[in-house]
């Protein structure tokens, strides 16, 4: 079941069948440099289990991002509850397979998530976190309307 669509993408809850696609993403050191290392298979399974738990607890989490044209899972994007600077905040997050970087997919998915948060859920604020040196991620967030406040936040 698809939760959201954009011009080129479909977003849906991840399932256990997404493990191989998650491995392609989370086991790539370039994709995971902000986490300090590529994940082991056990860490990928923990990540997937965490998303499934978030769906059960909150009704949302990071969702699989598929190309409409092929049905291929190329990343994940969603909203998660996070501890940001000592407070619980709703955060937007995304990770995409390196082969699909620089095509606007992260921005397209993130913009749709932001519309969900503000228009559908009528939330007053949405946070984002990325390392200052992660210029690609910061650029995506700024294109989506976030402003730098020590952490990036849209309201």
Nearest residue to 114 via CA among 77, 76, 74:
77
Say what the pTM is: 0.89
- Alpha carbon separation from 92 to 42, 77, 79, 119, 142 (Å, rounded): 24, 7, 5, 15, 13
pLDDT digit string, tens, across residues 133-143: 778 888 888 88
pLDDT in tens, 19-70: 999 999 999 999 998 888 999 999 999 999 999 999 999 999 999 999 999 9
- Arithmetic mean of pLDDT over the chain: 89
pLDDT tens sequence across 113-128: 999 988 888 888 888 8
The bridge status of strand 9-12 relative to strand 126-128 is unpaired
pLDDT greater than 60 at residue 151: no
**pLDDT level of residue 86 (50, 70, 90 thresholds):** confident
Cα 129 to Cα 33, 92, 94, 152, distances in angstroms: 14, 8, 11, 6
């Amino acid at each position: 079941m698809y939760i959201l669509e954009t011009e080129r993408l479909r977003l849906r809850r991840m399932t256990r069948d997404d493990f191989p696609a998650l491995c392609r993403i989370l086991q790539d050191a370039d994709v995971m440099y902000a986490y300090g290392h590529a994940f082991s298979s056990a860490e990928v399974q923990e990540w997937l289990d965490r998303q499934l738990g978030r769906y059960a607890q909150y009704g949302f989490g990071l969702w699989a991002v598929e190309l409409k044209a092929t049905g291929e899972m190329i990343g994940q994007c969603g909203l998660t509850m996070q501890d940001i600077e000592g407070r619980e905040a709703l955060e937007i997050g995304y990770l995409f397979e390196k082969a699909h970087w620089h095509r606007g997919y992260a921005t397209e998915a993130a913009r749709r998530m932001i519309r969900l948060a503000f228009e559908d859920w009528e939330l007053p604020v949405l946070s984002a976190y990325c390392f200052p040196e992660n210029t690609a991620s910061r650029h995506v967030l700024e294109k989506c309307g976030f402003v730098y406040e020590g952490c990036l936040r849209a309201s």
